[in-house]
Structure 1
Amino acid sequence: MATHLILQKMFRTGFVSEPAPAADLALRTREQHIHADLLGIFGQAVAIRHVDAGSCNGCELEIHALGGAHYNIEGLGVKFVASPRHADLLLVTGPVSRHLEVALKRTYEATPEPKWVVAIGDCGCTGGMFGESYASCGRVANVIPVDVEVPGCPPTPLALLEGILAAVSAGVKTPAAS
C-alpha cells in the first residue's frame, strides 16, 4: 500500500529537475579539427601499438582512459592494434628493462615505415627513479629513436592525446633503425 502512495505523490509532483541543455556545437570544433588533421595525414586512421617496456602500469591506466566515452579517441580516427606490423605509431611506457630491450627493438623493426615513437611518462622520457642500472636501460631513447616525449607520472589522458597528435602532425617520420 505504501508503494501506491509514493507513486501517487510522484505523479502529482511531476518533474522537478531542470531541462537538458541544448548541444553546443562549438565545442565539437576541436574534435573535428583533430579528425581532419588525422585524415589529411593518414587518409583514414592512426594505428597505435602500445608497448609496456617495464612500467608500473600507472601510464597504462591513463592510456585506457583514452578509450573511454569521455575522450573517445576511436571516434577521432585513433585506434589501438595488436600487431606492430599494422601500426603507424609506437606508444612506449616505462623504463626499458634489460629483459625487454630486445623485444622493444624487434617491435620497432617490425613496425613499417613511416613510423613514430612516443615515449610516455617520466620513466619513458628520462628513466624516472629507476634510471640506468643492471636491470634497466633507462629511457626509451636509449634503445630506439623517439619522436615525442610526454612527461608526467603518469601523464593525463589529454597530455597523451596531445603527444600523439604532436607526433603525427609534425609530418616528420622516424629514420630507419641503424
Structure 2
Amino acid sequence: MMSLLRKIRTTGRVAEPAPPRPSPEAPPAARALCGSAQVRHVDAGSCNGCEIEIGNAFGPVYDAERYGARLVASPRHADVLLVTGPVTRNMAEPLRRTVAATPEPRLVVAVGDCALNCGEFAGGYGVQGAVAEVVLVDVDVPGCPPEPERIVATLRTVTGR
C-alpha cells in the first residue's frame, strides 16, 4: 500500500493539456447562443457510425459538455441540431418538422460524409438526398465517421469556448 502511495506522490497528476481554442469564425447564428448550446441529435438514416462518435464526443474522454454543449431530448429545447446520415424518403418530412420545431436562432450541423453527400448510400432507392438538399445546413463535419475531436471542435466553434 505504501509503495502505491509513494508512486502516486512521485508521479503527480498526469493529464493532457487542454486543446487550444478553435480558430475558425463562428457562424452568424452562433453569436446569439451566448457561450452554450443545447444540442439535439437527429438520425436521418445513417449506419450508426456517426452516432457512436457523437456518443464518444459527449462521453467522459472528450466531454463536449465542458465547452458548453449539452444534449437535450426535444428539438423545442435545442439550439443546435446534429443531423447524421443521408436523408431517407421516410425521414425527409420529419427532418423538416424537427427543424421547424427548433426555435430561432438555430444551427443545423451535418455530421459525416453521408450527411454531406450521401456517402456509400448515394443513388440508393430509399435515399432522398444529402441533408443540405432537404434543409438549410450551417456547419459541416466531414469524415466517415468523423472523429470525436472534430465533432467537439465544431461544437466549440458554435459555442465560442
TM-score norm. by structure 2 comes to 0.81
Does residue 165 of structure 1 match 2:117?
Answer: no
Q: How far did 1:41 drift?
A: 5.0
Find 2:71's aligned residue among 71, 75, 80: 80
Does residue 124 of structure 1 match 2:115?
Answer: yes
Matches within 5 A, 1:4-83: 14-15=3-4, 17=7, 19-22=10-13, 27-28=17-18, 30=20, 42-43=33-34, 45-83=36-74
CA RMSD for the aligned pairs?
2.7
Does residue 112 of structure 1 match 2:82?
Answer: no
Point out where structure 1 has 5 or more consecutive residues left out of the alignment. Answer: 1-9, 170-178
Alignment coverage as a number of residue pairs = 152
Q: How far did 1:151 drift?
A: 1.0
Match of 1:99 in 2: 90
C-alpha distance in 2 between matches for 1:164 and 1:136 = 27
C-alpha distance in 2 between matches for 1:43 and 1:110 = 21
Q: How far did 1:22 drift?
A: 4.1
RCO greater where, 1 or 2, for CA within 8 Å and sep 6 or more? 2
Q: How far did 1:43 drift?
A: 3.5
Would the alpha carbon gap of residues 151 and 167 (structure 1) be closer, same or farther in structure 2, given more than 3 Å must change?
A: same
SS in 1 for 2:115: helix
Q: How far did 1:168 drift?
A: 4.8
Q: How far did 1:161 drift?
A: 1.4
Q: How far did 1:46 drift?
A: 0.6
C-alpha distance in 2 between matches for 1:81 and 1:116 = 15
Amino acid of the residue matched to residue 125 of structure 1? L
Q: Between Structure 1 and Structure 2, whose CA radius of gyration is higher?
A: 1
SS in 2 for 1:155: coil
Match of 1:134 in 2: 125
TM-score norm. by structure 1 comes to 0.74
